[in-house]
Structure 1
């Protein structure tokens, strides 16, 4: 696969110390990930990716109607180990969004369920990829 593809997404992960890593994107953003510390674990990053992806979809449209008083997305999942190895199941995305009183807030509240569904069914690349499934190639260079 060419790294010059116009829509290629990538991160580079470097080791900081045992069990602690920094992920960096090409734009200069970074995030530390670890296991067994207060920092986000790889599984939590996956859940955060689902939450952030769908939040962006919903927030972008509803905020055109009204600025939310509160906006929270929680993603939960059960981690299991079975004949398929370690994986997550029963992933649930819960939106807790409050809009102010008034016409704008009413419009945003009315469209919220439709936007959450549309994000889930069409727009959110992260959750769509998980639901549809895609092969992951692991290689040593």
Structure 2
């Protein structure tokens, strides 16, 4: 299946030391990661962060049309297990603890919050949807092309 060029996303990964790497995006942002031997995020923690971040951005888009957050906190969690399917995460959950200001805008934001969370889970958050619907990930060897 051919996809239009504007749908393409990529990062480049560079080895920075023993079991440590840095991901660089097309805009020049750099994110270190490691195996858990230092304070760098592990790949599993990055997936949890991506789930929460994706949902948070969507949530702010949806509720922010009515009112800005008065307070915001989120947690993404799950369990890393090893079973007959191999290593994977189960019981993934993203919890948002948000409040909105008093007044009409805040009331409208509070009113749409449950629907917004349902939309994020059901169709909007590309990271969460990818985990939910699944798509094969192929690991290949060869030249890395720009």
- TM-score, length-normalised on structure 2? 0.91
In structure 2, how many angstroms separate the alpha carbons of the residues matched to 1:81 and 1:68? 38
In structure 1, how many angstroms separate the alpha carbons of the residues matched to 2:33 and 2:8? 22
- Correspondence 1:88-103 to 2 at 5 A: 88-103=89-104
* Counterpart position of 1:31: 31
Q: Which runs of 5+ in 1 are unaligned?
A: none
Q: SS where residue 81 of structure 1 aligns?
A: strand
* Aligned-pair CA distance for 1:75: 1.0
- Correspondence 1:40-119 to 2 at 5 A: 40-119=41-120
Q: Which moved more, 1:30-39 or 1:116-125?
A: 30-39
* Counterpart position of 1:9: 9
Structure 1: which 4+ aligned runs deviate by more than 3 Å? Answer: none
* Aligned-pair CA distance for 1:95: 1.0
Q: SS where residue 93 of structure 1 aligns?
A: strand
* Aligned-pair CA distance for 1:6: 2.1
In structure 1, how many angstroms separate the alpha carbons of the residues matched to 2:73 and 2:88? 25
* Aligned-pair CA distance for 1:5: 2.3
In structure 2, how many angstroms separate the alpha carbons of the residues matched to 1:52 and 1:15? 25
In structure 2, how many angstroms separate the alpha carbons of the residues matched to 1:137 and 1:27? 25
In structure 1, how many angstroms separate the alpha carbons of the residues matched to 2:20 and 2:71? 33
Q: Which runs of 5+ in 2 are unaligned?
A: none
Instruction: Report the RMSD for the aligned CA atoms in angstroms.
Output: 1.7
* Counterpart position of 1:124: 125
Q: SS where residue 14 of structure 1 aligns?
A: strand
